[in-house]
Amino acid sequence: MYWTLELASKLDDAPWPATRLELLDYAKRSGLPAEIIENLEEIEDEDETYESIEEIWTDYPTKEDFFFHEDEY
């Protein structure tokens, strides 16, 4: 399983929280790239509920990863 920022960002509008099967259904109905569907199919635990992409791809960058402080501008 491999994720890129571009692939993971396509799941931003997914119906979180969701199970693997719900995410697969969303990806197929939304016409997301085959790589996303393949990555989701590789997740072993079908019944676990994921709150966000960060729980699937732990290296997903967050706002804190960028050294930008909105309150300074």
Q: Where are the domains of the chain?
A: 16-45
Counting every residue written for the chain, the total comes to 73
Q: What is the pLDDT of residue 11?
A: 92
Angle (CA) 34 1 17, round 5°: 75
Q: What is the pLDDT of residue 3?
A: 87
The predicted-structure confidence for 6-64, as pLDDT tens digits, reads as follows 888 899 899 999 999 999 999 999 999 999 999 999 998 878 999 999 899 888 776 55
Q: What is the pLDDT of residue 67?
A: 57
Angle (CA) 24 30 31, round 5°: 90
Is residue 65 over pLDDT 90?
no
* pTM of the predicted protein model: 0.80
Q: What is the pLDDT of residue 5?
A: 84
Burial (0-12, 13-18, 19+ Cβ within 10 Å), 7: middle
